[in-house]
Amino acid sequence: AAEQYETAINNLPRDQYAVTQLASSFMRLQKYDEAVATYEKGAKILRDDYVFALNLGELYRRKGDIPKMIDNYLNSLVMNPERSNQIKTYFQRYLSEDDFLELQAKLYERIQDDDQSIPYVEMLTWVFIQRKDYKSAFRQVKALDRRMGENGGRIYHLAQIAANDEDYDTAIDAFDYIVEQKGLASTYYIDAKRDGLLVRRDKLVEGSNYTLEQLKDLETQYESFLGEFGKTTATASIILELAEFEAFYLNDLDKAITLLSEMIEYRGIDRVLLAHAKISLADFYLMKGDRWESTLLYSQVDKEFKEGILGHEARFRNAKLSYYFGDFAWAQSQFDVLKASTSKLIANDALDLSVFIMDNMGLDSTTTALEMYAQADLMVFQNKFEDAFSQLEDLLTQFPEHSLDDDVLYLKAQIYKKQHEWEKAATILQNVFDNYKEDIRADNALFELGELYETHLNDIEKAKSLYETLFIDFSNSTYAVEARKRYRKLRGDDIQ
């Protein structure tokens, strides 16, 4: 049989179809070496080194010869650059992390031999993105942008990918490059300037070690943007961002309220953006203690988006406002309705608060303790942390060994989290879990403890253990599914 195979290969006519037919016959017999020899002989006869490159890539994949598979798939790009996405799919499917390094090295080699090969540079950029090396990808897209005389489009899209993956420095560099090097002539100028602000804000506040000077510098950049483009319907999203920044980071509620009060009066503003602005403005009024302006705005959004998630969000906040001010029966009736919300987050929060109110109203003939707790909860929302601590201590003094004891501890942990006192928050949450396992805050405490160890206290093993305890011992918890997901992610499972 071997001789017959060799004869068939040696007698190949100069005909692409005949070559493909013979190679396919060998492949059906799983005679991969003979199929390779057929394609290689066919390429020589046809005097075209690349004509069967894609077929050879597939054959070498079946043989498990990854370096040759890579070479041939790259060869196939020479004559058919439009195959790029197809080749990327193969690489994604079949290459390991080490194989990607091999691919990267081969691409560098080819680019050095032929620095005009756009498909290779584009493929190298893609490899860097797969490996999350956005800085190197940025170098490549800059070179491509210059060489092809583009207007910054591929740089902008890379910046978005880097920002979404929290490589803020590369994202900022890329957005700034468009603003500074491309200027107003680029259709991406305004978007790059706007997104650059957002990424700067995310980088600053997620670090949690920012200074007042850094906050004021970012405020100046926002104001500079609005000075350049004006306060209009087109810049409304930036105004909303700035207002939230003023309220939550610079503690200037008056400025935040002024910005949004003006913005919601703009004509032709997108209704979803308007709803977000009204919810934020309502929050700011509530933080200032203006209950009636707040409830009015929440109600407007609820009415406008009756069955939508934005409407549910506004209704939830309105119900929570009633809870803050001691109208527990009405608040609970709203939470009970919202338990059916299509937003899992709202549904879970509504369920938590409904159970919490029921748990603490059913035991007492008086609601004084619950009213004191709700007032402290409002103080936390208003960032009046010392007042909240004082209120909680008064509650414990007036109502020793009350059913709210675990809730008092839990709320103290929330204050410490807002103050970025991660160790103190973790200690209290551990206390809640250890000493109040049968109470309603136990699973909340366990989940938040896992989050703290995962994101702030840098103890992944501890976080894994806490998440595992949660989804095994508290399988009915609203946090169980998310805890299992995070556990698997930390364990290194491939989660889609």
For residue 152, which of 125, 182, 121, 196 has the smallest C-alpha distance? 182
- φ, ψ for residue 341, nearest 5 deg: -60, 145
Angle, alpha carbons 445-446-451 (nearest 5°): 95
Q: Output the pLDDT for position 386.
A: 97
Single-letter residue type at 316: F
Segments in 305-384 forming alpha helices (H): 309-324, 328-338, 344-361, 368-381
Q: Which ranges of 185-230 would DSSP assign to H, the alpha helix?
A: 189-207, 212-229
Q: Which two tokens stand for residue 253?
A: 């509620």
Q: What is the pLDDT, as a whole number, of residue 116?
A: 67
> What integer pLDDT is reported at residue 39 of this predicted model?
92
Residue (of 171, 112, 185, 163) closest to 141 by Cα position: 171
Looking up tokens 């991969």 gives 32
Residue 124 structure tokens: 């190298």
Burial 420-439 (b: 16+ CB within 10 A, else e): eebeebbebbbbbbeebeeb
- What would the two tokens of residue 91 be? 């690489």
Closest CA to 391 of 408, 405, 406: 408
pLDDT of residue 495: 53
d(Cα 165, Cα 346) in Å, to the nearest integer?
26
- Domains, the chain, in order of start with CATH, read 373-496 (1.25.40.10)
Distance CA(73)–CA(77), nearest Å, equals 7
Question: Which helix (DSSP H) or strand (DSSP E) does residue 388 occupy?
Answer: helix 385-398
What tokens appear for 430 in the block? 């551990």
Per-position pLDDT tens, the chain of length 496: 788 888 898 888 899 999 999 999 988 988 989 999 999 999 999 998 889 999 999 999 999 999 999 999 999 998 889 999 999 999 999 999 899 999 999 999 999 887 668 999 999 999 999 999 999 999 999 999 999 999 999 999 999 999 999 999 999 999 999 999 999 999 999 999 999 999 999 999 887 678 999 999 999 999 999 999 999 999 999 999 999 999 999 999 999 999 999 999 999 999 999 999 999 999 999 999 999 999 999 999 999 999 899 999 999 999 999 999 999 999 999 999 999 988 989 999 999 999 999 988 865 567 899 999 999 999 999 999 999 999 999 999 999 988 899 999 999 999 999 998 999 999 999 999 999 999 889 999 999 999 999 999 999 999 999 999 999 999 999 899 999 999 999 998 765 5
